[in-house]
Amino acid sequence: MNTIIKTTDAINVNKDIINEAGAIIKRGGLVAFPTETVYGLGANGMDEEAAAKIYAAKGRPSDNPLILHISDIGMLEDIVSEIPENARLLMDKFWPGPMTLVFKKKPGVPYGTTGGLDTVAVRYPAHNVALEIISAAGTPIAAPSANTSGRPSPTKASHVIEDMDGKIDMIVDGGEVGIGIESTIIDVTSEIPMILRPGYITKGMVEELIGQVQVDKVVIAKSIEEIGGDYKPKAPGMKYRHYAPKAELTMYEGDIENVVKKINSLSEIAVTEGKKVGIIATEETKNRYNASKVVSIGTRKDEASIAKGLYGILRDFDTMDVDVIYSETFYDDDLGQAIMNRLIKAAGYRIETV
Ligand code: TXA
Ligand code: MG
């Protein structure tokens, strides 16, 4: 398939490009577009056959449900059977924005988009290109992150091209995204809402608004044992190894002096074994490592910069063809919880205390 690639300004969107993208979605095709979190791979969410093409293009397991993206609150009526009070509070405060809510679905939403579940995840993104494409398509758009299943989510169009060129109808390049990690997912069908995936909207922000909130244990677990072998994450996607670079990634946690020492000594050994080493450092530590591929993920003073750089760095290590990656850890509160959640999964739970 020949993939059309078009570039538009993210604020003053090019209407011709939007109309072309909308028409492709309407006729059951696939279009990748930017949102404020990561790039999404969109199809008509009310059309099971169109949604099936998403699974094929990504190589995604069919029990992993898709998020429906809307461009105005009115669109909720056709897809959601009930809006609990807590959901209203969250919607008023954080929509449009990087938050996905899980509701009970209406019968019209096909099981082909919800992975067979009776619930549906809905997101109202805060990005002009996404909003205009949804409006032009005139239907909720089902959109997972626009990466091949298991690879880091795309934060720029070039990442989407790497994974999807030739497999989808169109890629709309609207520049680099602002946030860089996927939306916070909150299940509002239970009396006390539950965070299923952490993101830019933090537990603290949700608690401040609605009081109590639970967190699915897969979000914070630092080992497979903590989760328990039979436990099924409430967001089916959280069970898959995800966000993974090609090289084996291990994280080292503890006093930063010890971490730097440990990573330096491991790199020396790896280099003598003929391995190419990548290190995920911070602005604060990047000059203290002696391996050749030291990449700074941002400064500890600004967690948002770390979130934004994360997936690009994991992809860069693939391009540099490193054999092993060593990483520092980050605080696991606020936005740090989302960063650590993604990194721990990228590391396949290889995390050591030093
Ligand atoms: O920021 C985002 O949310 C991005 C952009 C493109 O909007 N999208 C995204 O989609 O991250 P995806 O498909 O990569 O991740 C969706 C997650 C998966 O873990 C999936 O299992 C979960 O949402 N999910 C979808 N529907 C659900 C439902 N009804 N109940 C529980 N989890 C659900
Ligand atoms: Mg994804």
pLDDT tens readout for residues 335-347 = 999 999 999 999 9
**What's the rounded mean pLDDT across residues 12-37?**
98
d(CA 310, CA 219): 17
Q: What is the pLDDT of residue 240?
A: 66
Distances (CA, A) of 175 to 11, 38, 64, 293: 10, 11, 28, 26
Q: What is the pLDDT of residue 241?
A: 67
Atom of ligand 1 nearest to the CA of 66: 25
In the sheet that holds 194-197, the strands lie side by side as: 4-7, 170-173, 31-33, 40-44, 141-142, 67-69, 119-123, 99-104, 184-187, 194-197, 214-215
**What's the rounded mean pLDDT across residues 205-210?**
97
Q: Lowest-pLDDT range, 47-51, 143-147, 230-234, 271-275?
A: 230-234
Nearest residue (CA) to ligand 1, atom 22: 235
User: What ligand is nearest to the CA atom of residue 242?
Assistant: 2
Are residues 213 and 194 in contact, defined by beta-carbon separation less than 8 angstroms? yes
Nearest residue (CA) to ligand 1, atom 13: 144
Atom of ligand 1 nearest to the CA of 120: 29
pLDDT tens readout for residues 216-226 = 998 888 888 88
**What's the rounded mean pLDDT across residues 199-217?**
96
66 alpha carbon to ligand 1 midpoint, in Å? Answer: 5
Binding pocket residue ranges, ligand 1, CB within 6 Å: 35, 37-38, 40, 64-67, 100, 102, 114, 117, 119-121, 123, 125, 143-145, 182-183, 185, 196-197, 234-238
Q: Tell me how many degrees the CA angle 50-56-57 measures, rounded to the nearest 5.
A: 95
Nearest residue (CA) to ligand 1, atom 31: 235
Mutate to test the pocket of ligand 1, among 117, 182, 239 (most ligand atoms within 8 A of CB): 182
Q: For residue 310, with 0-12 CB atoms within 10 Å meaning exposed, 13-18 middle and 19 or more buried, which class applies?
A: buried
Q: Over pLDDT 90: what percentage of the chain? A: 87
In order, the DSSP letters of 63-104 are: TSPPEEE-SSGGGGGGTBS---HHHHHHHHHH-SSSEEEEEE
User: What ligand is nearest to the CA atom of residue 143?
Assistant: 1
Helix (H, G, I), strand (E, B) or coil at 31: strand
The amino acid at residue 294 is V
pLDDT-based confidence at 236, cuts 50/70/90?
confident
User: What ligand is nearest to the CA atom of residue 163?
Assistant: 2
Give me the half-sphere count of Cα atoms (radius 13 Å) on the Cβ side of residue 178. Answer: 12
Mutate to test the pocket of ligand 1, among 37, 100, 240 (most ligand atoms within 8 A of CB): 100
pLDDT tens readout for residues 81-137 = 999 999 999 999 999 999 999 999 999 999 999 999 999 999 999 999 999 999 999
User: What ligand is nearest to the CA atom of residue 147?
Assistant: 2
281 alpha carbon to ligand 1 midpoint, in Å? Answer: 29
Nearest residue (CA) to ligand 1, atom 3: 183
Q: What is the pLDDT of residue 213?
A: 97
* Average pLDDT of the chain, as a whole number: 95
